Amino acid sequence: MNITKSKKSTPLQVIVSVLAALFGVQSDKNRQHDFKQSSPWPFIVVGVVIIGAMIMAVIAVAQWATAI
């Protein structure tokens, strides 16, 4: 298998890629592009931040709903 490093993803591309992967709509082409990146850390960091924001949003909505 010939693994070549592809062009580095922009921050917006990383965010869109992580969101697509989280919701299960990532295309195979984009997934392959992501796995060809030199470092997985941008994807890991963005994923942790997005999941943290989603958890905080659910907590905020639950607190708002129970305060009514």
Query: What's the predicted TM-score (pTM) here?
Result: 0.77
Q: Is residue 6 part of a domain?
A: no
Answer yes or no: is 55 within a domain.
yes
| Contact present, 8 and 33 (Cβ < 8 Å) | no
Residue ranges making up the domain that contains 18: 11-67
10-residue mean pLDDT profile of the chain (68 residues): values are 65 94 91 90 96 98 93
| Residue 46: inside a domain | yes
Joined tokens for residue 61: 């909505």
Instruction: Count the domains in the chain.
Output: 1
For residue 45, the number of C-alpha atoms closer than 13 Å in the C-beta half-sphere is 6
Residue 61: predicted pLDDT: 97
- In this structure, is residue 38 part of a structural domain? yes
pLDDT of residue 6: 60
Report if residue 3 sits inside a domain: no
Domain for residue 60, yes or no?
A: yes
